[in-house]
Amino acid sequence: ECNIQEKIDFEIRMREGICKLLAVSTQRDQLLRAVKNLMVCNARIQVYRTQLQSQKEELIPCRTGEWCSGNGTKDRMACPARVAIS
C-alpha cells in the first residue's frame, strides 16, 4: 500500500511539472510530447488508484472473471498494463 501511494505521489508531481511545461511551451513538438506525457501520467495515476482501492477493499471471487465486493455488487478488475501513445 505504501509503495503504491509513493508511485501516485510521484506521478502527481510529474503531472504538475508537465502542466508547467505546457504553459510555457511554444513549439508544436514540445506541446505534443508534453500532452502525451500528461496522458500517460493520468493513466498511471488511475491504475495506481484502482490498485490501491482494490487493496483496501476485501474482494470475494464470484465467478470466472468477475468479483463481488462485500455488498454483493459485481466489480470490474483493472489489470496492470503499459500505455503507449504515438
Minimum mean pLDDT range among 32-36, 48-52, 73-77, 79-83: 73-77
Please choose, from the candidates 40, 53, 55, the residue with its C-alpha nearest in 3D space to the C-alpha of residue 10.
40
Q: Considering the chain, what percentage of its residues have pLDDT values greater than 90?
A: 55
Instruction: Report pLDDT for 85.
Output: 76
Contact 41, 14 (CB under 8 A): yes
Model pLDDT, residue 24 = 94
Q: Quote the CA–CA distance of 39 and 59 in Å, as a whole number.
A: 29
Reported pTM: 0.63
Span 75-84, average pLDDT: 67
Give pLDDT, residue 22: 94
